[in-house]
Amino acid sequence: MSMSDDALNAFRAEVRTWLEENCPQEMRDGASGEDAIVWGGRNWKFKSDAQKLWLERMASKGWTVPTWPVEYGGAGLDRAHHKILLDEMRKMGARVPLQSFGIWMLGPALLAFGSHEQKLQYLPPIARGEVRWCQGYSEPGAGSDLASVQTKAESDGDHYIVNGQKIWTSYADKADCIFALVRTDRDAPKHLGITFLLIDMETPGVTTKPIRLISGKSPFCETFFDDVRVPKANVVGTENRGWDVAKHLLTHEREMISGGGQGLLGGRPLGAVLSEQDGGLTDPVLRAEAMACEIDALAVALTLERYKDQAESGGGVGDASAMLKYAGTELNKRRHELMMSAGGADALIWDGKHDGLAADWLRTKANSIEGGTSEVMLSIISRRVLGLPA
């Protein structure tokens, strides 16, 4: 056994002991649904004392954002140590203590593009769950064509005056702050006039309105900016070069959305789920479709694993992440169509015996739209991976 194996094993033992001593019993049920998620933020109401305690303890170890540097609220773990932490949490069924767009998206973007002061100011509150962020990218009429954003930020001394509208801003009504793409130069080529700006939602002139979706409820909102004054110090990266930040962040978003399918892919076999629903998966057509879906799901999960291996070995995945987003979300739609078929009439009842299935089924339809549609993913692959002419 090598030295590094010894070190990793020692870390594993340490993690296990700490988790045993610190993870409240109530947080060990492996729950991951909407009710189990802690989003944090200024107005966050914990659902139990255990939830609050768990977050505080994990944040004190830097384990809400294990791979971030210690000075920014993380634990500075490399991938091997991070994997051990995740393994041990999974083994005991420990809930994820905190989730947020701050962790998934803004954090990685700030780590890559933010100034040292910005990192010190924004990252630790994200790690402790004190500030909740939302993403202001899409606009009415823009869709996946992000570079065509129209929300404008006009210079006024050391401030901008922001006017415009964002759409599909998930949880904007609950967020404290928004990271947004705004147009700071109307005359520059599309990609070169955009700035990545951090805006406090309590600034006068910011309003939100929820959007109701076909699944009944939704996290989505419209967000309006009406003469909103934002300090120029809130620019991440360089003025007019926000596109670089946005692209970096989109890669993380794609990985997150396709990774969202990972829970399903790595979870219970589709055959077992369907058997329960139709009492044995006897229908030959459904059975054949389910077999095909299962084969593809296993292969996609292995591809996720292979890409992680690649990332761990130091080679980036890059634009191939578009493939995972495309394959994962399309598969998730297929999988939910099958589950609805197997459930039959029982699956059509909102809160019937397949609790939440109908809403989940409808929600999967958005997976291949948000974060760039499947068609946009295919265009990314054809141009940037295959080198076909634009």
Partner 1 sequence: MSTLLLTEDETMLQDAARGFLDGAAPVSHFRKLRDAGQTHDAKLWAEMAQMGWTGVLVPEDAGGSDMGHAAAAVLAGELGKTLVTSPFISTAVIAATALRQVATDRARDALAAIADGSVIYGLAVDEGAKHDPDATQLEAKADGNGFRLSGTKGFVVDGSNADRLLVLAKTDAGLTLFDLPADREGITRTGQNMVDARDAAQVTFDNVQATGDDVLGSVDDAMTVLKPALEAGQAALSAEMLGLSAGAFAMTVGYLKERKQFGVEIGRFQALQHRAAHLWSETEITLSAVRHAGRKLDEDPDNATLAVSLAKARATQTAKLAVIEGVQMHGGIGMTDDFDMGFFMKRARVATEWLGDYGYHAAKVAAARGF
Could you give the residue numbers annotated as active site? 253
Position among 127, 172, 245, 281 found at the interface with partner 1 (CB under 8 A): 281
Could you tell me the smallest distance in angstroms from the CB atom of residue 23 to partner 1? 28
Instruction: Using the minimum distance from each CB to partner 1, give the nearer residue, 174 or 334.
Output: 334
Position among 205, 231, 260, 271 found at the interface with partner 1 (CB under 8 A): 271
Length of the chain: 390
Q: Which helix (H) or strand (E) holds 365?
A: helix 357-367
Calculated CA dihedral for residues 113, 116, 118, 123, nearest 10 degrees: 90
Position among 86, 298, 359, 362 found at the interface with partner 1 (CB under 8 A): 298
> Of the listed pieces 20-28, 90-98, 241-249, 310-318, which binds partner 1 according to CB under 8 A?
310-318
Could you tell me the smallest distance in angstroms from the CB atom of residue 303 to partner 1? 4
- Residue 22 exposed, middle or buried by CB count within 10 Å (0-12, 13-18, 19+): middle
Instruction: Using the minimum distance from each CB to partner 1, give the nearer residue, 247 or 306.
Output: 306
Instruction: Using the minimum distance from each CB to partner 1, give the nearer residue, 7 or 378.
Output: 378
CB distance 295 to 302 below 8 Å: no
If binding is defined by CB under 8 A, does position 327 make contact with partner 1? yes
Could you tell me the smallest distance in angstroms from the CB atom of residue 112 to partner 1? 25
Position among 150, 262, 275, 341 found at the interface with partner 1 (CB under 8 A): 275
Question: Three-state DSSP class for 230?
Answer: strand
Identity at 247, one-letter amino acid code: K
Instruction: Using the minimum distance from each CB to partner 1, give the nearer residue, 50 or 311.
Output: 311
CB distance 169 to 135 below 8 Å: yes
Q: Which of 377, 283, 285 is nearest to 328 (CA)?
A: 377
Could you tell me the smallest distance in angstroms from the CB atom of residue 3 to partner 1? 20
What is the spatial distance between Cα 239 and Cα 128, in angstroms, rounded to a whole number? 29
If binding is defined by CB under 8 A, does position 313 make contact with partner 1? yes
Long-range contacts of 279-286 (CB under 8 A, 24+ apart): 281/342, 286/338, 286/341, 286/342
Instruction: Using the minimum distance from each CB to partner 1, give the nearer residue, 127 or 317.
Output: 317
Total residues contacting partner 1 by CB under 8 A comes to: 42
Q: Is 44 left (phi over 0), alpha (psi -120 to 50) or beta?
A: beta
If binding is defined by CB under 8 A, does position 310 make contact with partner 1? yes
Q: Which helix (H) or strand (E) holds 161?
A: strand 159-167
Instruction: Using the minimum distance from each CB to partner 1, give the nearer residue, 1 or 386.
Output: 386
Determine how many CB atoms are found less than 10 A away from the CB of residue 364. 22
If binding is defined by CB under 8 A, does position 80 make contact with partner 1? no
Tokens of 312: 């761990």
Could you tell me the smallest distance in angstroms from the CB atom of residue 335 to partner 1? 13
Residues in the site for partner 1, rule: CB under 8 A?
A: 269-272, 275, 281, 287-288, 290-292, 294-296, 298-300, 302-303, 305-306, 309-310, 312-313, 320, 323, 326-327, 375, 377-379, 381-383, 385-390
